[in-house]
Structure 1
Amino acid sequence: SDQNGVQYNKTTQNAYNITDDAVLFLKGLMVTRLMPSIYIIIILISLPLNALAFVMFTCRIREKKPAVIYMAHLACVDLLFTLLLPLKIHYHLNASDWVFGEAVCRVLSAAYYCYMYCSILLMMSMSVDKLLAVAFPIASLTWRSTRKATCICALVWLLAVAGTAPLLFIKQTFNIKDVGVTCHDVLYDKRLYVYLFSILSCLYFFLPLVVTLVSYSTMIYALTLKNDNLKTSSSNKRRRAVIMTVAVLMEFVMCFAPTNGILLYHCVRLATGGSSEEGKYYLIAACLGSTSVFLDPLLYYYGSSQCRKQIRSLI
């Protein structure tokens, strides 16, 4: 069974058969025109915004608070992912026929999941950091150091790379009759695929989602309870916290939940011996999920007072 939920049979030593529906989908306008257009829009928006953010967080802002460190890493993740998108655009414009070889396909596939899980883990780290700052403003000063934030970011990169590295050892390209060479759209080792993505979806998506939601809802509750003299400052903080929560929730629900939900469902179906037809929805979800790079600049602006000061100084 392949990623598009169809049975395929080996016809010769190098070619596989897939269903007519799957061929039509991989060669259709959705995959060959609409998806590349979305990826092109992502590049046009993501490159300038995230490059500006990365330069601002690394060069312009001198005082490196934990939030700045997390966001610099998030901008870096977005930039690296954006730089790989031209390969994906070429693949789809070329009617799902991959020309760059097995090694590049493996790197691209691993990089997509690495980007997604790195973003999710960084957003979770930011939410916990913000909760500590609000709930324990004095006590947390020792916990929320620049050094600790840098160590957490290093751990996030390590976890994301370690989690997605197995994709570098799984064959990703297959020669499909009437299509050409597919990249990651057909996966041969069903057992390994089920184990890997079940673990990744649970540990790297659903668990961080719960932690992030609990952190932001507790923070909003704590800000609402605070009744100090600086009521305007407190209400501004609360408003920013609400906007951050909504932006993060949108990113999780719109960008990451469909991909991970479909992945987990697909794994369950494969593990129970069934064949599933949701692969085409997965490809669409993965494409739409890449638009998370649009929402990250919102997180930068509302998540960092230093970022807002820098932007005001530029305007």
Structure 2
Amino acid sequence: MVLESRLTTVFLPIVYIIVFVVGLPTNALAIWVFLFRTKKKNPSSIFMANLALCDLLFVVWIPLKIAYHLNGNNWIYGEGLCKVLVAFFYANMYCSIAFITCISLQRYWAIVYPLSKRRRGNATSVGVSVAIWLAVWVLTTPLYLYDQTVELSNMKVVTCHDVTMPDQRTMAAGYFLTMGLLGFFVPTVVCMVAYVQMLKVLCSSMTDEAIARQRRKAVALIVIVLVMYLVCFGPSNVALLVHYSLLLAQRTNNGYGFYVVSLCFASLNSCVDPFVYYFISEDFREHVRNTLHLPQPADGGAPARVVHRAQVQEEHHHHLHLLGQQAEQ
């Protein structure tokens, strides 16, 4: 019923079209800014560049998924491309979660310990990024080891990752249950702890109104990013655990429609991330405005580089002026 419904043949392709139309240019612009416009690299910009690359590598494959759903959930591109599409889908999800966790930890360190010296930070960030890419691609190799396409003779379609054969049930369930627990819930706990600690520091009593105003903006941003993270990845991973637990127990999943919709909404993260970069990074905002020839915002008549001089000297324009404000405190 789900495969024949308008939910999968109309609604899902509409969402994926939005993800593709928004995510392709914004992530390409983000990568260009991080690689060629940002002269002074810092750990956060390195992690955000990797996150943008991760999103872009996923977005370029979305047209195949759009065509699949518009074609009545009938896959006509062969087993190999189906495996590639599925692998890139889950690689994007867990790679994004990993890099968001790294950005959260970097922001935590910068806010809670703003005056600490972090030598060789860029080298460490590059090493961590390489390790994440290797780990994610190794962990997605099991998806290539069993068939992702299944022919349904009663519907006269070939599905891609929508039906699991009985003899592959144990392998598929074991894999996704492990990835859901280790790839989502463990990083989520780390992010939650980091954000709680940051909020404690930022919500501490301040007598300087200017610093308090900056901190309120930072608190709002932290809450928004955390909510977006949970909304994009929470339902999909919870539904994934429920679905494969029922599959392993050989029980029918009456909520399969919610499961496929939640996975679709998880892909929205790919077109949301560039807007998060824009609000997190002062450098990113400035370069985007210059690239698109947008007017500079009014800031009381003082150039942004002068207003945030302490931030430039202490923390290389890092995270919404917080580091410079901490240094002044």
**TM exceeding 0.5:** yes
Structure-1 residue corresponding to 2:150: 174
Q: Does residue 198 in structure 1 map to residue 174 in structure 2?
A: no
Q: Is the 8 A contact 2:243 2:259 kept in 1?
A: no
Q: Does residue 284 in structure 1 map to residue 261 in structure 2?
A: yes
Q: Does residue 308 in structure 1 map to residue 285 in structure 2?
A: yes
Question: Which residue identity does 2:190 align to in structure 1?
Answer: V
Equivalenced residue count is: 289
Q: CA separation in 2, counterparts of 1:226 and 1:92?
A: 53
Structure-1 residue corresponding to 2:238: 261
SS at match of 2:203: helix
Match of residue 39, structure 2, among 57, 62, 67:
62
User: How far has the Cα of 1:227 moved from its partner?
Assistant: 4.1
Q: CA separation in 2, counterparts of 1:226 and 1:69?
A: 32
Q: Is the 8 A contact 1:244 1:303 kept in 2?
A: no
Q: CA separation in 2, counterparts of 1:256 and 1:148?
A: 27
Structure-2 residue corresponding to 1:4: none
Question: Which residue identity does 2:188 align to in structure 1?
Answer: L
Q: CA separation in 1, counterparts of 2:16 and 2:283?
A: 31
Match of residue 148, structure 1, among 112, 117, 124:
124
Structure-2 residue corresponding to 1:244: 222
Structure-2 residue corresponding to 1:5: none
SS at match of 1:182: strand
User: How far has the Cα of 1:247 moved from its partner?
Assistant: 2.2
Change (3 A) 1:65 1:261: same
Matched-pair identity in %? 32
Q: CA separation in 1, counterparts of 2:43 and 2:102?
A: 10
Q: Deviations over 1:6-60 (max 9, x none)?
A: xxxxxxxxxxxxxxx3xxx212222112211111111111112111111001100
Change (3 A) 1:111 1:104: same
Q: Does residue 222 in structure 1 map to residue 201 in structure 2?
A: yes
Q: CA separation in 1, counterparts of 2:205 and 2:94?
A: 34
* Unaligned 5+ runs, structure 2: 295-329
Q: Deviations over 1:57-111 (max 9, x none)?
A: 1100000111111111111111111100000011111111111100110111111
TM-score, normalisation: structure 2: 0.83
Question: Which residue identity does 2:137 align to in structure 1?
Answer: V
Question: Which residue identity does 1:271 align to in structure 2?
Answer: L
Q: Is the 8 A contact 1:220 1:242 kept in 2?
A: no
Q: Where do 1:37-116 residues align within 5 Å?
A: 37-116=14-93
Change (3 A) 1:40 1:273: closer
Q: CA separation in 2, counterparts of 1:75 and 1:150?
A: 15
Match of residue 210, structure 1, among 173, 189, 192:
189
Q: CA separation in 1, counterparts of 2:247 and 2:24?
A: 38
* Unaligned 5+ runs, structure 1: 1-20
User: How far has the Cα of 1:274 moved from its partner?
Assistant: 2.5
Q: Is the 8 A contact 2:33 2:288 kept in 1?
A: no
Structure-2 residue corresponding to 1:9: none
Q: CA separation in 2, counterparts of 1:28 and 1:274?
A: 22
Structure-2 residue corresponding to 1:117: 94
User: How far has the Cα of 1:222 moved from its partner?
Assistant: 1.1
Q: Is the 8 A contact 2:27 2:271 kept in 1?
A: no
Structure-2 residue corresponding to 1:299: 276
Question: Which residue identity does 1:263 align to in structure 2?
Answer: L
Name the Cα RMSD after superposition.
1.8
User: How far has the Cα of 1:233 moved from its partner?
Assistant: 4.1
Compare relative contact order (CA 8 Å, sep 6+) and give the higher one, 1 or 2.
Answer: 1
My pick for the range that moved more, 299-308 or 184-193, is: 299-308
My pick for the range that moved more, 95-104 or 275-284, is: 275-284
Q: Is the 8 A contact 2:91 2:136 kept in 1?
A: yes
My pick for the range that moved more, 83-92 or 289-298, is: 289-298
Q: Does residue 232 in structure 1 map to residue 210 in structure 2?
A: yes
Structure-1 residue corresponding to 2:134: 158
TM-score, normalisation: structure 1: 0.86
Change (3 A) 1:50 1:226: farther
Change (3 A) 1:182 1:293: same
User: How far has the Cα of 1:168 moved from its partner?
Assistant: 1.0
